Structure 1
Amino acid sequence: GTKFGCGVAECGACTVHIDGQPVPSCIVPLADAEGRSVTTIEGLSQDGSHPVQRAWAELEVPQCGYCQCGQIMSAVALLAQNPKPSEADIDKAMSGNLCRCGTYLRIRAAIHRAAELV
Structure 2
Amino acid sequence: MARSAGAGELRTKIMVFDLLRDERGEVKKGPDGYPASEPVNVFGEEKTRYCKWVNAWGSEVYTARQAGVTEPATLTLRYTPLITTTCIIYRGTDPKPYEVISVNDVENRHAWLEVKVQRKGAVR
**Bigger radius of gyration among the two:** 2
Structure with more of its chain in helix, by fraction: 1
Report which of the two has the higher share of strand. 2
Give the TM bin, normalised by the shorter chain.
Answer: under 0.3
TM-score (ref. length: structure 2):
0.27
